[in-house]
Amino acid sequence: MRISLVVLALLSSLPLLGQQGYDLQFRIKGLRDTTVWLGYYYGESTYRRDTAVVDRNGEFRFKGSETLPQGVYLIAINKTRLLEFAVGVDQQFRLETDTSGYIEHMKVTGDIDNTIFFENMRFNKARHDEAQPFVAVVQDSTASDEAKKSAREKLDAVNASVADYHEKIICEHPGTITSKIFQATRPLKAPEPPRRPDGSIDSTFQLKWYREHFFDNFDLADDALIRMPKPFYREKVYEYLDKLYAPDPDTVKRAIEFMVSKAKKNPETYKYLIFQLVLKYQNPDIMGLDAVFVYLNDTYFATGEMDYWANEQMKKNMRQHADRLRKSLLGNTGPNLIMQDVNFKPRALYDIKSKYTIIYFFDPDCSHCRQETPKLVAFYEKNKARFDVEVFAVSSDTSMAKMANYIKEMGMKWITVNGPRTYVGPYQDLYDSVQYPTIYVLDNRKKIIAKKIPADKLEDFLAHYEKRQKAGQL
C-alpha cells in the first residue's frame, strides 16, 4: 500500500471553511525584496497554503476569500521557518516584528489570539531562564544534598507558576489556540479507588476511569489540534491505544469505536483519526494486530463511510491489502500451498504431518534472507525432533537453478519449493508475504499460530506456546 496515495486523498479533501476570508498583514523589519510562504501544520508535516512578496519596507500580506482552518501557522522562506503564529476565530490582523528577535519584538494588532500566543512564548522563555540555575544545581554531582533540596523547591515553584499561568489562560481566554494547547496537555488524575463493602479494592478501577476520561481535556472533534507544531492528535490517540489497552484485536477495536464516537462529530477529525489508525495498523509491530487493519477497511472504507475523502485508488489499495491480510490472520487455517520442488515434483503444504509447520518465504538474492536463513537452519537442526517441526520454504525466484544452488549453499534439509511454479495461484494472494524473509508458524491442524516472527525467536516461541498448552491457556 502506498502511503502517498493516502496522504494525497486526505489533503485533497480538506474543506473550505466559511466565507469570511482571511487578511493577514505583516511587517518584518530587516526582511525585504523576497518571497515568503504561508504554511500550516497537519499532523507531523507542514504544507504550503499561500505566497506573498515582501517589499523593501518588510511589508507583505496574505489574503483570501475562504476562512483558514484554525491552528498554528508559519512564515517561511524556502525551507527556513521565520516565525509561527496562531490562526483562530479572528483572521484579520497585523503582526509587526524584527528579524533580530521575532518573538521579543512582536507587536500584535487586532487579534487577542496572537497577543496571548506571543505573550506565552515570552513567558516561557523567562521561566526557562529563571529555572536554569536551579536545574544546574540539581544536576551537579558535587552539590550538597541541602543545596539540591533547595534548588528542587525553587524549581517546583517555577513549575507551579507555569501551571498557574496555563490555568489562567484556559479560564480567561477559552477557545483561543493557546488555551486549546494548554487544555490538551492538561494532566489527568484518577480518583482513589473506592472500597467494596467487604473492604477490598477494585484493582481495575483506575484503568477503567482513565479509559473513560482520557479525552476529557482533549477534544477529539477539534480539528485545530491537528494543526499544531507537535502532532498532539496522533500522539494522544496512540497513547490511548498503546498504554490503556492490551494488544488484542478485539480490545483495540472497542477502543477505536470509543474514539470514533467522539471524533465523528467533525468530518475533518473523523477522517484524520481513521487516517492515523490506517498508518498505525497497516504494518503493525505487534503480531496479530494486522486484524485491526482488516477491521478498518471493512468498517470504514468498504462500507463507503470514508467516501467523502478517500479516493478510489486509496480504497483499492486498502481493499487489496486487507484481502491479503484476512486470509492469513492469526487463528485462521493457513491456505494450502502446492508448488514444484527442485526435482520438479509437486509438494503440498497439507501433506506435512508434523506437529508444527514453518512456512519460510524467501528470495535467494535477498541480503536479509542470507542473514536469516542460517538462523532458521540452526533452529531446524536443533529442534526438529524436540518440537516435531518441519519447514516448507518457498523461493520467490523463477529460477530453479538459483533455488538449487541456494539450498546447497545454505544446507537446507527441509522441503523447498519454487513459488512461481504453483498449482494454487500466487502465494502472495494467500499469505501476506510481500516482504522477504517472512515466517509463518502453523500447528498440526494448519492453524496459523505465529507470523512474521524472526528465526532466532522460534525456539522461545514454541517452548512458551507448549507451556501455555499444558497449562490449559490455549
DSSP code per residue over 204-266:
THHHHHHHHHTTSSS-TT-GGGGSSSS-HHHHHHHHHHHHHS-S-HHHHHHHHHHHHHHHTTS
Domain termination residue (choose one: 69, 101, 117)? 117
Q: Is 31 helix (H, G, I), strand (E, B) or coil?
A: coil
Question: Strand order in 346-348's β-sheet?
Answer: 346-348, 338-341, 415-422, 389-395, 356-362, 438-442, 448-451
DSSP per residue over 69-84, as a string?
A: PSEEEEEEETTEEEEE
Q: Is 444 helix (H, G, I), strand (E, B) or coil?
A: coil
For residues 227 and 347, state if they share a domain: no
pLDDT, position 18: 41
For residues 429 and 317, state if they share a domain: no
DSSP assignment, residue 55? -
For residues 401 and 313, state if they share a domain: no
What is the CATH classification number for the domain harbouring 395? 3.40.30.10
Kindly state whether residue 172 falls inside one of the protein's structural domains: no
What is the CATH classification number for the domain harbouring 62? 2.60.40.1120
Cell reading at 90: 479572528
pLDDT, position 95: 98
Please tell me the distance from the alpha carbon of residue 18 to that of residue 413, in angstroms, as a whole number: 69
For residues 250 and 359, state if they share a domain: no
pLDDT, position 179: 96
For residues 310 and 353, state if they share a domain: no
For residues 400 and 457, state if they share a domain: yes
Kindly state whether residue 415 falls inside one of the protein's structural domains: yes
Phi/psi for 473 (5° steps) reads -90, -5
Kindly state whether residue 7 falls inside one of the protein's structural domains: no
For residues 269 and 348, state if they share a domain: no
For residues 308 and 287, state if they share a domain: yes
Tell which residue, 63, 64, 52, has the closest CA to residue 28: 52
Domain termination residue (choose one: 98, 117, 136)? 117
Domain termination residue (choose one: 51, 83, 117)? 117
**Total number of domains constituting the chain:** 3
For residues 345 and 451, state if they share a domain: yes
Q: Name the packing angle between helices 145-172 and 177-184 (round to 10°).
A: 130
Query: Exposed (0-12), middle (13-18) or buried (19+): which is 398, by Cβ within 10 Å?
Result: exposed
The answer to whether the beta carbons of residues 367 and 375 sit under 8 Å apart is no
CA distances to 125, 131, 356 from 348, rounded to whole Å, are 69, 70, 15
pLDDT, position 10: 52
Domain assignment of residue 415, given as a range = 338-470
For residues 315 and 247, state if they share a domain: yes
Kindly state whether residue 103 falls inside one of the protein's structural domains: yes
For residues 296 and 257, state if they share a domain: yes
Please tell me the distance from the alpha carbon of residue 436 to that of residue 372, in angstroms, as a whole number: 10
pLDDT, position 151: 94
From first to last of its 474 residues, the chain has per-residue pLDDT tens of 333 444 444 544 444 444 479 999 999 999 999 999 999 999 989 999 999 999 999 999 999 999 999 999 999 998 899 999 999 999 999 999 999 999 999 999 999 999 999 999 999 999 999 999 999 999 999 999 999 999 999 999 999 999 999 999 999 999 999 999 999 999 898 899 888 888 888 888 999 999 999 999 999 999 999 999 989 999 999 999 999 999 999 999 999 999 999 999 999 999 999 999 999 999 898 999 999 999 999 999 999 999 999 999 999 999 999 998 998 999 999 999 999 999 999 999 999 999 999 999 999 999 999 999 999 999 999 999 999 999 999 999 999 999 999 999 999 999 999 999 999 999 998 999 989 999 999 999 999 999 999 999 999 999 999 999 888 877
For residues 318 and 351, state if they share a domain: no
Kindly state whether residue 5 falls inside one of the protein's structural domains: no
